[in-house]
């Protein structure tokens, strides 16, 4: 198996070098880009398996980089943000980032997130399930598992790969409250409960795209998918 490629986009050289060193030590092939235009060019040229992308960049920012790269080819993106800014996070998820990490972060955490991204990407490209189980219908919600498409009341919603996985998870057990920690472990593949805000952000994305009434919050516990009549 050839080494998997990760593109690291970060203008702060010490951070870029530390991230690259850690990923190389784990057997990844790593390329570094230091600004927006260089990142888009490198993604086109090297076709990475995953991208670690800082939001604050010279040229144009990480959100624009993500938008441009995702428009050409779907690739898992881990966004790095300087502060826990909800707006940045929501825009990041809207332009196709799958996960985010707030600075400062540990290299152990970064590595865990990159591995989880790649695990999900591999799972998503696995052969589709048999035809009988390809459609999931719950009230006015229609999920096509094979084509990874979602319609609500006949209107298609554009979900990111992670939003789709999260929705399928909730839809698999409608009206059941699923704890955030469990969603984090099952959808993201990691058990570190400090990442439960990642779950919250993606739930916000699903509500924005599919309607606020679809998912119920059970405060202090988790979320449940409500089936509409």
- As a whole number of angstroms, the distance between CA 9 and CA 44 comes to 13
Phi and psi at residue 228, in whole multiples of 5°? -85, 145
User: Rounded to the nearest whole angstrom, what is the least distance from the CB of residue 19 to Ca ion in the complex?
Assistant: 12
Smaller CB distance to Ca ion: residue 58 or 172?
A: 58
Identify which of residues 56 and 145 has a Cβ nearer to Ca ion in the complex.
Answer: 56
Residue in this structure with the two tokens 């990111």, named with its chain if needed: 160
Min CB(61)–Ca ion separation in Å: 9
Residue nearest to Ca ion (CB): 56
CB of 201 to Ca ion, least distance (A): 21
Residues at the interface with Ca ion (CB under 5 A): 11, 54, 56
> Which residues lie closer than 8 Å to 24 by C-beta, 6 or more apart?
30
CB 50, min distance to Ca ion, A: 18
The smaller minimum CB distance to Ca ion, of residues 82 and 193, is found at: 82
CB of 54 to Ca ion, least distance (A): 4
Q: How far is the CB of 10 from Ca ion (least distance, A)?
A: 6
Minimal distance, residue 83 CB to Ca ion, in Å: 12
Judged by beta carbon, residue 26 or residue 35, the one nearer Ca ion is 35
User: Which residue's CB is nearer to Ca ion, number 56 or number 177?
Assistant: 56
Q: Is 144 exposed, middle or buried (0-12, 13-18, 19+ CB in 10 A)?
A: middle
**Closest to Ca ion by CB, 56 or 118:** 56
Query: The dihedral of CA 91, 74, 120, 110: what is its sign?
Result: negative
Provide the β-strand partners of residue 138. Answer: 141
| Nearest to Ca ion of 56, 168 (CB atom) | 56
């Amino acid at each position: 198996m050839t080494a998997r490629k990760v593109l690291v986009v970060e203008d702060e050289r010490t951070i870029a070098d530390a991230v690259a060193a850690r990923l190389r030590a784990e057997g990844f092939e790593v390329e570094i880009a230091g600004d927006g235009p260089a990142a888009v060019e490198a993604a086109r040229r090297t076709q990475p398996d995953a991208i670690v992308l800082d939001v604050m960049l010279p040229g144009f920012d990480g959100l624009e980089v993500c938008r441009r790269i995702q428009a050409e080819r779907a690739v898992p993106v881990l966004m790095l943000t300087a502060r826990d800014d909800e707006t940045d996070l929501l825009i990041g998820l809207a332009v196709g980032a799958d996960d985010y990490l707030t600075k400062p972060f540990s290299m152990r955490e970064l590595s865990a997130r990159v591995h989880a991204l790649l695990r999900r990407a591999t799972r998503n490209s696995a052969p589709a399930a048999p035809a009988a189980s390809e459609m999931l219908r719950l009230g006015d919600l229609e999920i096509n598992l094979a084509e990874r498409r979602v319609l609500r009341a006949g209107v298609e919603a554009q979900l990111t790969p992670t939003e789709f996985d999260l929705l399928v998870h909730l839809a698999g057990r409608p009206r059941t409250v699923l704890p955030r920690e469990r969603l984090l472990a099952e959808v993201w593949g990691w058990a570190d409960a400090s990442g439960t805000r990642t779950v919250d952000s993606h739930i916000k994305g699903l509500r924005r795209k599919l309607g606020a009434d679809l998912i119920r919050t059970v405060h202090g516990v988790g979320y449940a998918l409500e089936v509409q009549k």
